[in-house]
Amino acid sequence: MSMNEDIRRGLLEKVADLHGTPQGAYNIRENGQSAGRQNTDEITIENKTDKPGINIIVKSGTKNKSIHIPVVITKTGLTEMVYNDFIIGDDCDVLIVAGCGIHNSGDEASAHDGVHHLEIGKNSKVRYIEKHYGEGNGSGERIMNPEMTANLGENSVLDIESVQIGGIDSTNRKTVITAAAGCEVNMAERLMSDGHQNVVSDTEIILNGDDSSARINSRSVAKGESTQLFYPKLTGNADCFGHVQCDSIIMDNAKIRSIPEICANSVDARLVHEAAIGKIAGDQIMKLMTLGLTAEEAEEKILNGLLK
């Protein structure tokens, strides 16, 4: 196996849990070009004709199917913006895996900006996983600026797992989700920053229909000289429920700002927010050390538990 192929496989494993060719529908993008695609009877992937990106069309009634659209960049100095639209029919149950990994061993910045839009039909369930990862010993930055918008039809469910698992120098994450009656949105965000890395996360969920609900659970760790800025927002326009929880551990000389916002435009909207920032408690470390762990091992276990 060549070094480039080894790097490519390592990135795909980290951001999409792929150890080979995925089952079901997939589109693999590598260094700005398509590196593999497969359609199925239920799911069609096609190139856009007006700008870079793809359309993913899921037929109504599609159940227990997956869509993998990972991106890998191994060239220094490569920057791109890609637009991917998902049109998901009624009564579906699908998994979307949309990770991105950058290996940069040069002195120029490499960047990927992915703009994803989900149009989800009625009574559908979508699980959306997006992992970001960077590596390489070059001085060039690794930059990712993901953007997601989603419109949920009545009684649909959207579960989002958004993970930045290390090595990204700069990221500006933007998410806007609109939910109709009976919808449920669950967003779990896990972020780690170190060195001089910068993270901005801006999320808004708009609950427009009765009996809709949303939960944002953001967990982060900031080390070194890194900075993190969070803007989680819930807007309730009907008889709905929403909860925002942000928990962060700050270490070294890092800086974190968390600015949760709840906005009620209906007397029946019930919205709650919580935010906490703090260092690792000394008694937590001591308790684990009594079980035989070193201080470093205890610290790592606490951090892994927060980001799990």
pLDDT in tens, 251-262: 999 999 999 999
Question: Would you say residue 289 lies in a domain?
Answer: no
Q: Report the distance separating Cα 197 and Cα 195, nearest Å.
A: 6
Task: Find the range with the poorest average confidence among 68-77, 178-187, 298-307.
Answer: 298-307
Q: What's the confidence (pLDDT) of residue 288?
A: 66
Question: Would you say residue 215 lies in a domain?
Answer: yes
Question: Would you say residue 173 lies in a domain?
Answer: yes
Token duo for residue 228: 């993190």
Question: Would you say residue 305 lies in a domain?
Answer: no
51 CB burial (10 A radius; 0-12, 13-18, 19+): exposed
Question: Would you say residue 87 lies in a domain?
Answer: yes
**What's the mean pLDDT when you consider all of the chain?**
92
Question: Would you say residue 168 lies in a domain?
Answer: yes
pLDDT bucket at 291, cuts 50 / 70 / 90: confident
Q: What's the confidence (pLDDT) of residue 263?
A: 97
* Segments forming the whole domain that contains residue 45: 3-281
User: 264 near 245, Cβ under 8 Å?
Assistant: no
Question: Would you say residue 237 lies in a domain?
Answer: yes
Q: What is the tally of structural domains in the chain?
A: 1
Q: What's the confidence (pLDDT) of residue 306?
A: 74
Tell me the backbone φ, ψ of residue 44, rounded to 5 degrees. Answer: -115, 130
Question: Would you say residue 292 lies in a domain?
Answer: no
Which residue, chain included where needed, has tokens 């700069």?
170
